[in-house]
Amino acid sequence: MVIKTSDGREFPVEMHKARMVQKISLIPAEDRLKAIKEAGYNTFQLKTKDIFLDMLTDSGTNAMSDKQFAGFMTTDDAYAGSMTFYDFVDAVKDVLGYKYVMNAHQGRAAEHLLAKTFVKEGQVVPTNYHFTTTKVHIELPGAKILEIYYDEALETKSTNPFKGCMDPRKLRDVIKKYGKENIAYVRMEATTNLLGGQPYSMANLREIVKISKEAGLLTVLDGSLICENAYLIMQREKGYENKTVGEIVKEMCSLFDIFYMSARKNTCVRGGCIATNNKELFDKITPWLPVYEGFFTYGGMSQREVGMMTVGMREMTDPSVAGSAVEQVKYFANRLEEVGIPVVTPPGGLACHIDARKFLPHVPKEDYIAGALTAALYIASGVRSMERGTVSMERNPDGSEAYADLELTRIAIPRRVYTVSQIEYVINRVEWLYKHRELIKGMKWVSEPPVLRFFIGSLDVLDNWSRELCDAFKKDFGKNL
């Protein structure tokens, strides 16, 4: 819920209370410098004992509800035919409107099954924007992902409420150029993760699906962040202000042939699913399910997780859940903007994104701008964020660097985990970092894996800037913070 004060300010109030807590601690800057060095300046490689606020991701890090924990206790542990799975099928029918559903162990496993079934060598997959794992699963069979967003999507400072839209003109061009048989499917991603959590509008979704269907193309919705997109449509799109998040979610799903999601986000558990109303399509995917995931009634998840996901599915469209991250992101981004920090606007779902190119204009693109800022933020605060820039890209087939469209430091907001006072702490440390940004220089690879290098690769700083940054921090805050 958002509270308005008498002087016109707004701030989000958490619509839940903590009944169980986990202790966290803030290690001093000198120890943080040691930890990030050991982690190869890659925040994925940090250990949580060294992290104060873990804002790496909203994936698998959300707080579950008491009812979800109860769902954990009342599940039916059976390899085959578990009634827990059939309860899940009912929840999917009620919430998303799909009749046929299978589980997968997480979102990328669903992507793997879809690519295995529908993507062939030489084909293309038009999308509003790629996600890292999606791209790899489409490229592994020898296909190509085509990102056909409106050009404005890459403007980090904007008032366009729907930068996650697909450009229909570009889709028509793609159809003309490649032909139906060379397009595996058209993929839309709800609140484009790598574009700063930006939503699409319902009007755009309808137009894209209409064009795709007229061309006889299969349509796939990546609904991993569907509730945030629905919440933003409710807030921003004319004609939807009086609809519920649940109604908007169902309307989106009704347009697509196939839906898939990572359960780690909106439903707050480990897992995923694929759903459809088309039995023929469903029957094409199912043979791969026991090969890669598991039996039809658990698909790589434990029944306990399926039970918790069922409750999470029924709870996720509640505005206090769907809006919990969106409202905190909005507050966070607006406050950072107020103090002059370049952030992605308008704020989207999942995270507050800092535009690292504008934050560090002196760092050349070859030196991994967002990677440097992400490491610097950890040194200055103990906050773990994620690089979403060139480090997160795959190299071109000839080995040359593929520079990212955007260089972002993503400070994710796990659902119902952190409070506004904790967000205020981050704002304060980002502000300090901005004042000392000249100290931050670039990075270089030390060890670079061939695929999804951002997960386990290690880097080093150029000119030992991390030492200087740490010393400046200690000078201002002492050696204990």
Ligand X SMILES: Cc1ncc(COP(=O)(O)O)c(C=O)c1O
CA atoms within 13 Å, Cβ hemisphere of 477: 18
Size of the site for ligand X (CB under 6 A): 15
Peptide bond into 346 cis (omega under 30): yes
CB closer to ligand X, 265 vs 357: 265
Min dist CB 452 to ligand X, Å, is 11
Which one of the spans 105-113, 212-220, 228-236, 462-470 is the region binding ligand X (CB under 6 A)?
A: 105-113
179: left (phi over 0), alpha (psi -120 to 50) or beta: left
The SS3 assignment for 211 reads helix
Q: Which of 52, 105, 32 is nearest to 294 (CA)?
A: 105
Return d(Cα 474, Cα 481) in angstroms, integer: 8
The reply to whether 305 sits near ligand X by the rule CB under 6 A is no
CB closer to ligand X, 193 vs 328: 193
CB closer to ligand X, 266 vs 317: 266
**What pairs with residue 386 in β-bridges?**
410
Which one of the spans 106-114, 230-238, 358-366, 422-430 is the region binding ligand X (CB under 6 A)?
A: 106-114
The reply to whether 355 sits near ligand X by the rule CB under 6 A is no
Min dist CB 132 to ligand X, Å, is 8
Q: Could you confirm whether 388 is annotated as catalytic? A: yes
Min dist CB 444 to ligand X, Å, is 27
Q: Could you confirm whether 118 is annotated as catalytic? A: no
Applying the rule CB under 6 A, the residues between 327 and 346 that interact with ligand X are none
Min dist CB 349 to ligand X, Å, is 10
Min dist CB 255 to ligand X, Å, is 18
The reply to whether 293 sits near ligand X by the rule CB under 6 A is no
Applying the rule CB under 6 A, the residues between 129 and 148 that interact with ligand X are 131, 133-134
**Gyration radius (Cα) of the chain, Å:** 22
The reply to whether 82 sits near ligand X by the rule CB under 6 A is no
Among 68, 84, 201, 262, binds ligand X (CB under 6 A): 262
Min dist CB 409 to ligand X, Å, is 16
Return d(Cα 60, Cα 264) in angstroms, integer: 4
Q: Are 248 and 236 in contact (CB under 8 A)?
A: no
Which one of the spans 100-108, 229-237, 323-331, 341-349 is the region binding ligand X (CB under 6 A)?
A: 100-108
- Which of 58, 87, 167, 222 is labelled catalytic? 222
Among 42, 103, 128, 193, binds ligand X (CB under 6 A): 193
Distances (CA, A) of 385 to 47, 231, 410, 470: 13, 24, 6, 18
Structure tokens at 313: 């599915």
Q: Could you confirm whether 93 is annotated as catalytic? A: no
CB closer to ligand X, 44 vs 432: 44
CB closer to ligand X, 112 vs 335: 112
What track of x and - describes contact with ligand X for positions 25 through 64 (by CB under 6 A)?
Answer: ----------------------------------x-----
The owner of tokens 């509640």 is 318
Distances (CA, A) of 447 to 37, 296, 391: 13, 40, 12
- Which of 259, 368, 454, 473 is labelled catalytic? 454
Return d(Cα 439, Cα 362) in angstroms, integer: 10
Among 71, 197, 199, 272, binds ligand X (CB under 6 A): 272
Applying the rule CB under 6 A, the residues between 195 and 234 that interact with ligand X are 222, 224-225
Q: Which of 196, 160, 158 is nearest to 406 (CA)?
A: 196
Among 107, 246, 307, 457, binds ligand X (CB under 6 A): 107
Return d(Cα 124, Cα 183) in angstroms, integer: 5
Q: Which pairs count as long-range contacts for 395-402, CB under 8 Å and 24+ apart, including other chains?
A: 401/366
The reply to whether 167 sits near ligand X by the rule CB under 6 A is no
Q: Are 224 and 238 in contact (CB under 8 A)?
A: no
Return d(Cα 130, Cα 195) in angstroms, integer: 9
Q: Could you confirm whether 131 is annotated as catalytic? A: yes
Q: Could you confirm whether 79 is annotated as catalytic? A: yes
| DSSP of 408-434 | EEEEE--TTT--HHHHHHHHHHHHHHH
Min dist CB 176 to ligand X, Å, is 28
DSSP strands (E only) in 428-476: 443-447, 458-461
- Which of 265, 384, 410, 415 is labelled catalytic? 265
Return d(Cα 241, Cα 347) in angstroms, integer: 18
CA dihedral 414, 418, 420, 424 (to 10 degrees): -90
Which one of the spans 127-135, 330-338, 362-370, 452-460 is the region binding ligand X (CB under 6 A)?
A: 127-135
Min dist CB 60 to ligand X, Å, is 7
Q: Are 429 and 380 in contact (CB under 8 A)?
A: yes
Q: Are 199 and 229 in contact (CB under 8 A)?
A: yes
Q: Are 188 and 226 in contact (CB under 8 A)?
A: no
Overall size of the chain counted in residues:
481
Min dist CB 164 to ligand X, Å, is 11
Q: Which residue is nearest to ligand X (CB)?
A: 107
Interacting residues toward ligand X by CB under 6 A: 59, 106-108, 131, 133-134, 189, 193, 222, 224-225, 262, 264, 272
Q: Hey, which residues are catalytic here?
A: 79, 131-132, 222, 265, 388, 454
